[in-house]
Amino acid sequence: MCGRFVITEAADEMARLFEAIPANDLPQVPNHNVCPTNQILVVLGGEGRRLTSMRWGFIPHWYKSPGDGPLLINARAETIAEKPAFRSAARERRCIVPATGFYEWTKDADNKRLPWYIRPSGGGPIAFAAIWQEWRHGDDLMNTCAIVTTSANAAMAKIHHRMPVCLSPEDWPLWLGEAGKGAAMLMRPAPESYLDFWRVDPRVNSNRASGCDLIEPISA
């Protein structure tokens, strides 16, 4: 799964990378502890790509309030096409969530949560596959999204059995619906060599923690 992530690249850098027009109300970066329900950067495809802001936490159209059901921050690749909450978005509303890295947790012998930071081995940003939904109830209107996850590759499985779907640049047009059909084949684990990971301070266990030191390695 992906329950927390990091974004350090500036919005204008992400706009250039994805060749997208940036909106005016983008969330502040860097953010070394992006949490569910935060506003996050999202790339939308089409004739002119857009870099916009959405709530991380997909809200199905039948929810009467954002808290009317489970918090849907991830969508499983294996079932995304069948789940009532996700199937329409998987066909029609795919997007990309830019990130620098993400966190995952293991547990020690005392059942304490041990955080790990995971990032591309060559550095640079990650493009998470995601889906989005416009939620409206009365006068309330909100664009929301979920990150797509798949089974972990062998390297990542040492930490967790799930991982985000990470898209390479050549995959972006297909995922965004700009290059025809076949996006389902992109929902696969990244190559084992794609990611590096290391232990970080348990301070990140708190969603209130902040600062660039959150991703600094510590002794395991």
Task: List residues with catalytic annotation.
Answer: 2, 104
d(CA 101, CA 11) in angstroms, rounded, equals 16
Dist. CA 8–CA 141, nearest whole Å: 28
- Those residues with Cβ within 8 angstroms of residue 55's Cβ, 6 or more apart along the chain or in another chain: 37, 38, 39, 40, 66, 142, 143, 144, 145
Q: Say if CB 51 and CB 22 are below 8 A apart.
A: yes
Residue 170, classified by CB atoms within 10 Å of its CB into exposed (0-12), middle (13-18) or buried (19+), is exposed
Q: Which H helix or E strand runs over 101?
A: strand 101-107
Using CA atoms, how far apart are residues 135 and 147, in angstroms rounded to an integer?
A: 17
**Largest pairwise CA distance in the chain:** 53
**HSE toward the beta carbon, residue 155, CA cutoff 13 A:** 14
Residue owning tokens 């790990």: 116
